[in-house]
Structure 1
């Protein structure tokens, strides 16, 4: 057996990043207190929830993009099964509250959108963008917050694509579509039962295909130096723990804001605010003339629920990365990889807007709301991922399976 030196052991341990840990924690605390006092305690609490989401996403490496890519290429379904657990817990929590229309005596509503051409096209575009951009909506935020400079580029063009979609949003909305339908309309218990059967069927399919390819199911591997109590501070966390935590935090979002967790509408808002700062008037576009969007455009972003939660996610992921000793941004991005960031980000942003959401707003929160558009989104986003996987070798000179599963 080869001898492990003290120097080797030092390299295996996370780097000491106390200044970044304290800096990220301080930024998060200041944001919570400032927004809580200037806007409302609810908005401040939502930044805290966002920070917790960023911490969980990073430490559990809970990615949608890599889980789908690994299943498509290798037929390993551990990540997909974790997503089914995530959705099952969310449905059990959401459906009774949405059926009643109130939660803790406050009105709540789900994300239920029309089922039409725009969802099909947008989800397919988003799926391709996931594989080229290197992440989904939540993945882009938490990896960017964790110090991944490449994902900062993806995030920038995610914002650009989002605001571009608002220019001709009314054209997409004029395409054929069915009225919004939610399984909650069946009643809480029948809706839950139907959803759980579908989740179980998908999980069983992943087990069948994985065993057919490999003979056995993949077991989670935890580095020896990350076992024990230190794991909960520095990560990695168990994937299933991440699924449970994300479902509970989405439910906390519903309780605080009256609606589920969403991400990408904030990106369109940020882009429109940038255009306003540059002297343009996006308010003349029909998307920004809708009552809720017009109000958001006329206010500070600190009034916008998704914006404050997104900022919380970035700060929470930064804190998690520093705790893990991995906050080491590098600007060395290969040219083809940079091109993939630009193209992927544009597809992600544009696709999310016309499909009424992303992997969070449409897939996670949409299915948690019982919306059939969330199921349609999943099908066509997965198809887009299959195309994106085929395109990846042109942009990336790397193994098909990423070293960090959340990227």
Structure 2
């Protein structure tokens, strides 16, 4: 149990620290693909997936672990991922983003996080479980891309690597935009760790490595999977409400570590501040968090569990849920950002 606690916290602290300092936000990245026509964060996600997938070749080849993608519910994955995409826009962050932004002192993220964990638990174990089971029982198929396509895992990873390299090289060859330089507050190591700006691709490399090392560490505790946020968040609620210590696995301490790591990073960079949301933000956080929890539970994962981990394991559940998460993000972004901007442009200025 001690190793489970220590290892989960260490991995979580690393992930929370890196994500807070690099501002690695998939919600903003998916939204910017539509609103700003900027795909850099999506390409960063591909980098993290690719690094993890290449590492999984080595880990499975040396017999450190085995990957069993099992089955997945097609309808539940599609609908759940789409609702999750809507929810993360309303909540202002995905599952991991909400955890690390809560560590920065955002009360709105605390609200969204509470609703996300609560509705994930309700969907997996409580009142909404019959809804999820009814939806997910309709179409269940083999999630393993290797067995369904006949293409070896290594070949699939090579294809993914080639696609990722193409977009990365194409992006890096574009003229760099000059960013306004901010006054330097720190020097030395503190400047590097708590102030320096990092390219999204650099952040992706670090997150890909953390996601990769999570696999063998998690296996060593008896939890046979990689990074995950939704089930651990649900398990945390179940432990709090039932007192059953069996819910306290590596994943629970991982998400608690994300919060701690983000808090350390925010404190060190002087970015921590308690921020009270307005009424609209509170409303959006409540509904967004609820949609996140229900959607991720039905889809079998969030932007991390499905979008980063299942994709690297070459699971259909990951690669099908990812575009529907993005579509959900675009759908809600239209009503929150694009439509108001269009109305503001089209509305004539009233003169006195």
TM range (shorter): 0.7 to 0.9
Superposition TM-score, scaled by structure 1 size: 0.73
* Alpha-carbon contact 2:73-2:138 (below 8 Å) kept: no
CA distance in 2, matches of 1:336, 1:354: 27
CA distance in 2, matches of 1:223, 1:130: 29
Match of 1:260 among 226, 237, 256: 226
1:80-99 pair list within 5 angstroms: 80-98=42-60
Query: Residue 20 of structure 1 corresponds to which residue in structure 2?
Result: none
Q: Does 1:66 align with 2:24?
A: no
What displacement does 1:61 show? 0.6
Count of matched residue positions in the alignment of Structure 1 and Structure 2: 327
Query: Residue 276 of structure 1 corresponds to which residue in structure 2?
Result: 242
List per-residue Cα deviations over 1:129-148 (Å, max 9, x = no partner): 11111000110011101211
Q: Does 1:328 align with 2:288?
A: no
* Alpha-carbon contact 2:195-2:269 (below 8 Å) kept: yes
What displacement does 1:198 show? 4.1
SS of 1:250's equivalent in the other structure is helix
List per-residue Cα deviations over 1:226-248 (Å, max 9, x = no partner): 68744322134412222111111
* Alpha-carbon contact 1:264-1:353 (below 8 Å) kept: yes
* Alpha-carbon contact 2:104-2:263 (below 8 Å) kept: yes
Query: Residue 262 of structure 2 corresponds to which residue in structure 1?
Result: 317
CA distance in 2, matches of 1:314, 1:85: 24
* Alpha-carbon contact 1:226-1:234 (below 8 Å) kept: no
CA distance in 2, matches of 1:175, 1:101: 38
CA distance in 2, matches of 1:372, 1:202: 22
CA distance in 1, matches of 2:55, 2:296: 25
List per-residue Cα deviations over 1:286-320 (Å, max 9, x = no partner): xxxxxxxxxxxx4354x311100001110010000
Q: Does 1:151 align with 2:109?
A: yes
CA distance in 1, matches of 2:71, 2:269: 39
Query: Residue 367 of structure 1 corresponds to which residue in structure 2?
Result: 311
* Alpha-carbon contact 1:51-1:317 (below 8 Å) kept: yes
SS of 2:314's equivalent in the other structure is coil
CA distance in 1, matches of 2:186, 2:157: 36
Q: 1:221 to 1:141 in 2, by over 3 A?
A: farther
CA distance in 2, matches of 1:274, 1:42: 18
CA distance in 1, matches of 2:165, 2:146: 17
Q: 1:329 to 1:182 in 2, by over 3 A?
A: same
* Alpha-carbon contact 2:56-2:212 (below 8 Å) kept: yes
* Alpha-carbon contact 2:101-2:262 (below 8 Å) kept: yes
Q: Does 1:233 align with 2:163?
A: no
What displacement does 1:325 show? 0.4
Q: Does 1:299 align with 2:265?
A: no
CA distance in 2, matches of 1:181, 1:329: 44
* Alpha-carbon contact 1:88-1:199 (below 8 Å) kept: yes
* Alpha-carbon contact 1:132-1:343 (below 8 Å) kept: yes
List per-residue Cα deviations over 1:29-62 (Å, max 9, x = no partner): xxxxxxxxxx232431221111011100000111
CA distance in 1, matches of 2:332, 2:252: 28
SS of 1:114's equivalent in the other structure is strand
Q: Does 1:356 align with 2:322?
A: no
Superposition TM-score, scaled by structure 2 size: 0.84
* Alpha-carbon contact 1:88-1:196 (below 8 Å) kept: yes
* Alpha-carbon contact 2:69-2:144 (below 8 Å) kept: no
Q: Does 1:172 align with 2:135?
A: yes
Q: Does 1:133 align with 2:91?
A: yes
* Alpha-carbon contact 2:82-2:327 (below 8 Å) kept: yes
SS of 2:289's equivalent in the other structure is helix
What displacement does 1:160 show? 2.0
User: Structure 1 regions of 5+ residues with no counterpart?
Assistant: 1-38, 278-297, 398-407
User: Structure 2 regions of 5+ residues with no counterpart?
Assistant: 220-224, 342-352
Q: Superposition RMSD on alpha carbons, in Å?
A: 2.9
List per-residue Cα deviations over 1:135-180 (Å, max 9, x = no partner): 0011001110121111001101101221232222321221213211
